[in-house]
């Protein structure tokens, strides 16, 4: 039973504090058996801003076809765990992260306007999300403005509030400051391991349900075959 983890490092500054926190989480996940981790830095792929044209409400796709959104969406939908890491810029997520969130409009249109499934029904409740963030300020409310956008990002891909984990570390402003934090990377590693344990439990339940369904289908098929034999017209040997 494999687990697919998809992660986005959204900071324009590579290997800064938010990505260091992300790497600690992903390292712990990758160390678990059967886990595949893919990480993409948004400044190394192209996600254009949403144009607000609402064409996706009719087309079920985004009309911007010269960036990387199409394959990114495919990976988001296929993933068992989706993780985003962003620094706080001016009390919100960085522009690269917000562009990705805004382009999830196509999933919002699919789900709420066109009333089409985003993921198959059998995968509902069997996906997890995580949001990691770092901030330079030590205010206790420094992350508050990010949360609604984070929830929107995950909700439109059918990851509910109860399935979203958060790890947010403030008072780490300078490059490399997170490495000196007494608990941040350990907390990230613990969270990563916990999430893998949880998703494996859920996926194991899904696998048992599928196996049960296969056995039921096989029994029904066998019963149908036996019933067919009983009702099959018999050849008259005296004719």
Comparing 94-103, 133-142, 218-227, the range with the smallest average pLDDT is 218-227
Q: Is residue 22 domain-resident?
A: yes
Residue 229, exposed/middle/buried by CB under 10 A (0-12, 13-18, 19+)? exposed
CA atoms of 97 and 132, how far apart (whole Å): 12
pLDDT score of 239: 41
pLDDT band at 213 (very low <50, low <70, confident <90, very high): low
116 has pLDDT over 60:
yes
128-151 mean pLDDT: 95
Q: Is residue 191 domain-resident?
A: yes
Residues recorded for the chain: 239
Distance linking the first and last C-alpha atoms of the chain? 59
Q: Is residue 237 domain-resident?
A: no
Residue-wise pLDDT for 53-109, tens only, equals 999 999 999 999 999 999 999 999 999 999 999 999 999 999 999 999 999 999 999
pLDDT score of 32: 97
225 has pLDDT over 80:
no
Q: Is residue 20 domain-resident?
A: yes
Going from the C-alpha of 212 to that of each of 23, 89, 162, the distances in angstroms are 38, 50, 27
206 has pLDDT over 70:
no
137-141 mean pLDDT: 92
115-142 mean pLDDT: 94
Q: Is residue 207 domain-resident?
A: no
pLDDT score of 191: 98
Q: What is the pTM of this model?
A: 0.85
pLDDT band at 205 (very low <50, low <70, confident <90, very high): confident
Q: Is residue 108 domain-resident?
A: yes
182 has pLDDT over 50:
yes
Q: Which domain holds residue 105?
A: 3-202
Q: How many domains does the chain have?
A: 1
Q: Is residue 224 domain-resident?
A: no
25-34 mean pLDDT: 97
pLDDT score of 38: 98
Residue 20 is part of a domain; what is its CATH number?
A: 3.40.50.360
Going from the C-alpha of 112 to that of each of 57, 58, 105, 155, the distances in angstroms are 9, 12, 10, 11
Residue 218: alpha-carbon gap to chain centroid = 34
205-228 mean pLDDT: 60
215-224 mean pLDDT: 58
pLDDT score of 238: 46
197 has pLDDT over 70:
yes
pLDDT band at 226 (very low <50, low <70, confident <90, very high): low
Q: Is residue 214 domain-resident?
A: no
């Amino acid at each position: 039973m494999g687990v697919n983890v998809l992660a986005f490092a959204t900071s324009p500054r590579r290997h800064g504090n938010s990505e260091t926190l992300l790497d600690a989480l992903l390292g712990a996940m990758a160390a678990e058996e059967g886990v595949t981790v893919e990480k993409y830095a948004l400044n190394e792929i192209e996600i254009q801003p949403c144009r607000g044209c609402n064409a996706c409400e009719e087309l079920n796709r985004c009309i911007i076809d010269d960036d990387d959104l199409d394959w990114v969406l495919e990976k988001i939908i296929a993933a068992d765990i989706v993780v985003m890491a962003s620094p706080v810029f001016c009390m919100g997520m960085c522009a690269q992260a917000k562009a990705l969130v805004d382009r999830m409009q196509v999933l919002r249109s699919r789900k709420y306007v066109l009333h089409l499934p985003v993921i198959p029904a059998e995968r509902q409740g069997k996906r997890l999300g995580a949001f990691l963030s770092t901030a330079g300020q030590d205010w206790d409310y420094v992350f508050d403005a990010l949360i609604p956008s984070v929830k929107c990002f995950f909700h439109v891909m059918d990851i509910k509030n109860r399935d979203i984990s958060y790890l947010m570390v403030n008072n780490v402003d300078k490059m490399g400051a997170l490495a000196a934090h007494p608990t941040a990377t350990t907390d990230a590693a613990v969270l990563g391991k916990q999430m893998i344990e949880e998703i494996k439990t859920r996926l194991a339940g899904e696998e048992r349900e599928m196996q049960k369904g296969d056995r039921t289908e096989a029994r029904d098929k066998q019963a149908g075959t036996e019933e067919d034999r009983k009702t099959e017209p018999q050849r008259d040997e005296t004719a």
